[in-house]
Amino acid sequence: MTDLSTERLASALGTRRHEFYAEITSTNDRAQVLLNENAPNGTVIIADSQTRGRGRLGRVWLSPAGSSLMLSYLLRPPVTSIGHVGMIGALAVAETLDAMGIKEVGIKWPNDVQIGKRKVCGVLPEVVWQGDQLIGVILGIGINVRVDFTTSALAETAISLSNVIPQVDRLDLLLQLLHKLDIWSTAAGSTDVFAAWHSRLNMLNAPVNVVSITANTQEILSGVAQEVTPEGALMIRTLDGGVHRVIAGDIALG
């Protein structure tokens, strides 16, 4: 029996608006349609596999069927709080893993959830506008549940829940995660979100190499991850003493 099915989800999620796909292009694509159709906050789209799953910075997100929990969750935060949505995703996942008894759960800027120093979950917030009007934010989340990375290029940097706990039922994982997402999404805009997210960052004060990406440029910075701002930008102190503000990018420990 598969741990994710239309029947199991319907009976566990009750009145929550949800959709389950054995295969879809991307749950975030479908979430965008539902946002535009006024689906309520907390609506969730779940897929067992994606044919065009996407990651941050235009990357592809690949995951064999049956191996991950992949979902998109709909929120309509105030426009001033859209920067909190990625933080909320990472926090909700981190707290869910804590509650499962997993040790060494941390957040690597901006919103990768790690076990030790290996990535177990990626978060992809996408903001939907109509002209200058905010329609809402899609919070895409992919958790490696039983992906086998042993022969992959990610063997040293990625991890699955199955590597640290014996059995994971993706429906149980989803229910715990939705509970945390429902709680944290009501806090969007409060300083509690930033404080909780900040307290879980696992790379502050560490030497790092950063690819800083703006609309037209890519710059590589080597230095120390000095701080993050309340808006979520990373401040890097380079060896020449300069401090650089990185809004989007990727970091690797130096």
The residue among 50 and 96 lying less far from ligand BTN, judged by its C-beta, is: 50
Minimum gap (Å) between residue 102 Cβ and ligand BTN: 19
Minimum gap (Å) between residue 240 Cβ and ligand BTN: 31
The residue among 4 and 224 lying less far from ligand BTN, judged by its C-beta, is: 4
DSSP state string for 20-33: EESSBS-HHHHHHH
Give me 76's structure tokens: 């309509």
The residue among 81 and 111 lying less far from ligand BTN, judged by its C-beta, is: 111
Minimum gap (Å) between residue 249 Cβ and ligand BTN: 12
Q: What angle, 0 to 180 degrees and rounded to 10, lies between the N-to-C axes of helices 170-185 and 84-99?
A: 130
The letter for the amino acid at 173 is: L
Give bridge partners of residue 108 from the DSSP assignment.
112
Minimum gap (Å) between residue 19 Cβ and ligand BTN: 13
The answer to whether the beta carbons of residues 63 and 147 sit under 8 Å apart is yes
Minimum gap (Å) between residue 41 Cβ and ligand BTN: 18
The residue among 107 and 224 lying less far from ligand BTN, judged by its C-beta, is: 107
The residue among 111 and 224 lying less far from ligand BTN, judged by its C-beta, is: 111
Tell me which residue has its CB nearest to ligand BTN.
122
**Which residues, other chains included, contact 58 with Cβ-Cβ below 8 Å and sequence gap of 6+?**
none
Give me 242's structure tokens: 């300069």
Give me 112's structure tokens: 């990768």
Residue numbers of the site for ligand BTN (CB under 6 A)?
26-28, 50, 53-56, 59, 61, 70-72, 112, 122-124, 140-142
231 alpha-carbon distance from chain centroid: 17
